[in-house]
């Protein structure tokens, strides 16, 4: 039997080959994808987030751990979908994620995706420089719970507000929670323009997204 | 004390000494173009109009520093082949297009002479106009890029941060080449500016660990700063942009040549968001009462204690939460707290923690300057 603590450590320390091998082996041994997420992925990403906040981990660590997580999630996601289809536990929620129109910065957004996926969210990552209407169309198509918007530059902040306004205009405002983050954003501003949540960084986006799902 | 000119005031503070009052830099950089209703797309390579905008903004707001250039942290990368796209305020590097895709690309980097690359030439000419018009009494700083941030613009963030772990020798090879070229451009500004603001935004500790800073940032900045001061006669100012917990000494005292004036500009830390910043603050100045509405000012107390008296400390007005979103009263209150924590004994330039947003209200810039003049006078 695979030692789950060993797998958790491999993820935290970004030992990609070992982590993926242990994930595959444990799935073959019959552990459920849900158990792997709750017993390995979620606690490991929590440790990674804490290490970042404590100044022990930095961007390189997050990128390498993120790549390890992505590689592990490939076999796990496939099994998870099958478990959901068979009536098992649902994903934590569905998030359509994008960097706003006019902004091509993606590193923060990518980290948010990795962290949200690690905590069991189903994330549709649209990429960067995405117009408000395209974000909303995708949220409708994907039946998303949350629209996540990343915005690094102050000159593109208006495009977050455009998404909120367009949702209102279409009578869809109650259908989607809007979560925003990025260096040019503040909690005060996010509330003022009508967003439902704000996250200061990738690790805290998970708590914000969970909180938004509880309010739905 | 006799009243100093803006230039004397800033130069004194950059030596860590006490001027007649706290100098103030609004950092209305691209924002200055809005003062003359000019679109950056139309005028960016028109040095006369660029200089006029900076002079008009300086006259209206009344600060002590005029900044030449607007896209400072991208110019070197553009000269080396990076593609740009236009945001509302400036053309920034589009890192979706990577100049360095393989390490072989390092050998083929384009490195035009600064005078022959239009954007570099335009910045040099803008700076020269400002120096000629007001350089005898006003401090002129020109913004350029640190080598580490330029490398990031050439490679893309994820590739660079992965390569620092997996292929450090290749990263050093690229950094050496980029640093030598950056120095060529920086020295081409000799005589055209008093100071160079070296923008190195990706080198803050939200992204770069202190260990990585020591290995991949500090040696190259130190080489650049030595050339800027010794060969160029200009004052180097480092702008790592974000949190400096764990790198503050390396990012200032350790890279500014012995006996030279110099400065550091950043927001220094996010005490409400990062436990490591809060821990550093408490370890440096002891237990503090945090103001939930002002996480910026208090970091100056720690910064002043760690490096005060040796280099000029810029900061620490919040460019978004206070200057862009706040009221003149909020600006005044933050100026007052900044001065309380950092002004004693000199060596402090009150400034926005970063470039300011183009929608920043004029009233907030004016409040920043007026409050500094009111609260920042030394006895």
In words, the CATH class of domain B33-317 is alpha beta
DSSP B26-61: ---STTHHHHTT--HHHHTT-HHHHHHHHHHHHHHH
Query: What φ, ψ does residue A198 adopt, rounded to 5°?
Result: -140, 145
Question: What pLDDT is attached to residue B1?
Answer: 63
Residues of B with CB under 8 A from a CB of A: 85, 87-89, 92, 94-96, 157-158, 161-162, 164-165, 205-209, 212, 245-246, 270, 273-277, 279-280, 319-321, 324-325, 357-359
Question: What pLDDT is attached to residue B60?
Answer: 98
CATH 3.40.50.280 residue spans of chain A:
93-215
Q: Please give the Cα distance from A180 to A148 (Å, whole number).
A: 6
Whether residue B96 and residue A156 make contact (CB cut-off 8 A), yes or no, is: no
Identify the CA nearest to B260 among candidates B227, B235, B223: B235
Assigned fold of A93-215: Rossmann fold (3.40.50)
- Closest-CA distance of chain A to residue B88, Å: 6
The segments of chain B whose pLDDT lies below 50 read none
Residues of A with CB under 8 A from a CB of B: 53-56, 58-61, 63-64, 67, 102-104, 107, 110, 128, 153-156, 184-186, 188-189, 200-201, 204
Identify the CA nearest to B183 among candidates B140, B128, B146: B146
Whether residue A53 and residue B94 make contact (CB cut-off 8 A), yes or no, is: no
How far is it between the farthest Cα atoms of chain B?
60
Residue with tokens 């941060």: B161
Whether residue B89 and residue A200 make contact (CB cut-off 8 A), yes or no, is: no
Token pair, residue B42, equals 């139309």
- Closest-CA distance of chain A to residue B260, Å: 31
CA of A93: how far to CAs of A2, A206, B172, B189, B279, in Å? 29, 11, 43, 54, 34
Whether residue A188 and residue B325 make contact (CB cut-off 8 A), yes or no, is: yes
pLDDT, one tens digit for every residue, chain A (216 residues) = 889 999 999 999 999 999 999 999 999 999 998 889 889 988 898 898 888 888 899 888 988 998 898 899 888 888 877 877 777 556 689 999 999 998 888 878 988 888 788 777 889 999 999 999 999 999 999 999 999 999 988 888 889 999 999 999 999 999 999 999 998 898 999 999 999 999 988 878 988 999 999 987
Token pair, residue B75, equals 């110019």
Whether residue A154 and residue B359 make contact (CB cut-off 8 A), yes or no, is: yes
Question: What pLDDT is attached to residue A204?
Answer: 84
- Closest-CA distance of chain A to residue B173, Å: 19
Whether residue A155 and residue B246 make contact (CB cut-off 8 A), yes or no, is: no
Nearest to A153 among B87, B273, B276 (CB): B87
Whether residue A104 and residue B94 make contact (CB cut-off 8 A), yes or no, is: yes
Token pair, residue A58, equals 């930095």
Identify the CA nearest to B66 among candidates B6, B18, B114, B21: B6
Whether residue B88 and residue A53 make contact (CB cut-off 8 A), yes or no, is: no
Identify the CA nearest to B23 among candidates B237, B277, B203: B237
Residue with tokens 């706290």: B22
Question: What pLDDT is attached to residue A34?
Answer: 83
Nearest to A58 among B92, B207, B324 (CB): B207
Contacts of A162 in chain B (CB under 8 A): none
Whether residue B325 and residue A189 make contact (CB cut-off 8 A), yes or no, is: yes
Token pair, residue A33, equals 């994808």
- Closest-CA distance of chain B to residue A63, Å: 7
Among B206, B246, B322, most A C-beta atoms within 10 A, so best to mutate, is B206
Residue with tokens 């005044």: B332
CATH 1.10.1240.10 residue spans of chain A:
4-85
Q: Please give the Cα distance from A68 to A57 (Å, whole number).
A: 15
Among B31, B209, B272, B330, most A C-beta atoms within 10 A, so best to mutate, is B209
Question: What pLDDT is attached to residue A97?
Answer: 97
Question: What pLDDT is attached to residue A89?
Answer: 58
Q: Please give the Cα distance from B283 to B270 (Å, whole number).
A: 15
Nearest to B357 among A60, A103, A154 (CB): A154
Architecture of domain A4-85: Orthogonal Bundle (1.10)
Query: What φ, ψ does residue A201 adopt, rounded to 5°?
Result: -160, 180
Question: What pLDDT is attached to residue B173?
Answer: 98
Contacts of B93 in chain A (CB under 8 A): none
Share of chain B above pLDDT 90, in %: 87
Among A155, A181, A185, most B C-beta atoms within 10 A, so best to mutate, is A155
């Amino acid at each position: 039997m695979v030692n789950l603590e060993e797998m958790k450590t491999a993820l935290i320390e970004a030992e990609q080959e070992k982590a993926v091998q242990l994930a595959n082996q444990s799935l073959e041994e019959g552990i459920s994808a849900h158990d792997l997420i709750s017993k390995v992925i979620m606690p490991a990403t929590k440790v990674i987030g804490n290490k970042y906040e404590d100044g022990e981990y930095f961007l390189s660590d997050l990128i390498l751990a993120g790549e390890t997580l992505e590689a592990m999630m490939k076999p796990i996601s496939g099994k998870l979908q099958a478990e959901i289809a068979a009536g098992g536990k649902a994903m934590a929620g569905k998030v359509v994620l994008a960097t706003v129109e006019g902004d091509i910065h993606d590193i923060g957004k990518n980290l948010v995706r990795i962290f949200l996926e690690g905590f069991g969210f189903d994330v549709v990552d649209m990429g960067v420089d995405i117009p408000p209407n395209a974000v909303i169309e995708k949220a409708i198509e994907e039946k998303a719970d949350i629209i996540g918007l990343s915005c690094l530059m102050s000159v593109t902040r208006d495009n977050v507000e455009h998404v909120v306004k367009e949702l209102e205009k279409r009578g869809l405002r109650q259908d989607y929670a809007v979560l925003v983050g990025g260096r040019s954003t503040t909690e005060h501003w996010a509330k003022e323009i009508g967003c439902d949540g704000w996250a200061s960084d990738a690790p805290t986006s998970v708590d914000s997204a969970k909180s938004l799902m509880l309010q739905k | 004390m006799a009243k100093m000119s803006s230039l004397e005031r800033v130069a004194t503070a950059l030596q860590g000494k006490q001027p007649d009052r706290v100098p103030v830099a609004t950092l209305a950089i691209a924002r200055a173009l809005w003062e003359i209703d000019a679109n950056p797309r139309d005028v960016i390579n028109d040095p006369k109009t660029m200089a006029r905008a900076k002079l008009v903004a300086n006259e209206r707001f009344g600060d002590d520093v005029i900044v030449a250039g607007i896209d400072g942290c991208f110019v070197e990368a553009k000269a080396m082949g990076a593609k740009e796209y236009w945001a509302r305020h400036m053309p920034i590097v589009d890192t979706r297009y990577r100049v360095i895709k393989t390490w072989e690309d390092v050998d083929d980097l384009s490195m035009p002479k600064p005078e022959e690359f239009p954007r570099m030439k335009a910045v040099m000419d803008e700076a020269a106009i400002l120096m000629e018009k007001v350089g005898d009494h006003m401090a002129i700083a020109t913004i350029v890029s640190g080598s580490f941030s330029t490398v990031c613009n050439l490679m893309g963030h994820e590739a660079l941060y992965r390569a620092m772990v997996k292929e450090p020798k290749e990263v050093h090879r690229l950094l050496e080449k980029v640093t030598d070229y950056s120095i060529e451009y920086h020295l081409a500004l000799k005589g055209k500016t008093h100071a160079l603001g070296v923008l190195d935004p990706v080198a803050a500790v939200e992204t770069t660990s202190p260990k990585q800073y020591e290995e991949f940032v500090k040696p190259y900045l130190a080489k650049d700063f030595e050339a800027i001061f010794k060969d160029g006669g200009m004052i180097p100012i480092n702008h790592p942009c974000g949190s400096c917990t764990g790198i503050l000494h390396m990012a200032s005292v350790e890279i500014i040549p012995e006996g030279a004036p110099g400065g550091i500009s950043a927001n220094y830390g996010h005490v409400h968001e990062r436990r490591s910043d809060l821990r550093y603050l408490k370890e440096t100045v002891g237990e503090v009462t945090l103001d939930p509405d002002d996480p910026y000012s208090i970091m100056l107390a720690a910064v002043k204690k760690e490096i005060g008296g040796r280099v000029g400390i810029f900061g620490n007005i919040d460019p978004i939460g206070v200057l862009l979103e706040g009221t003149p009263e909020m600006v005044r209150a933050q100026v007052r707290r900044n001065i309380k924590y950092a002004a004693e004994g000199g060596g402090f330039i009150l400034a926005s923690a970063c470039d300011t947003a183009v929608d920043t209200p004029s009233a907030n810039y004016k409040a920043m300057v007026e409050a500094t003049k009111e609260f920042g006078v030394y006895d």
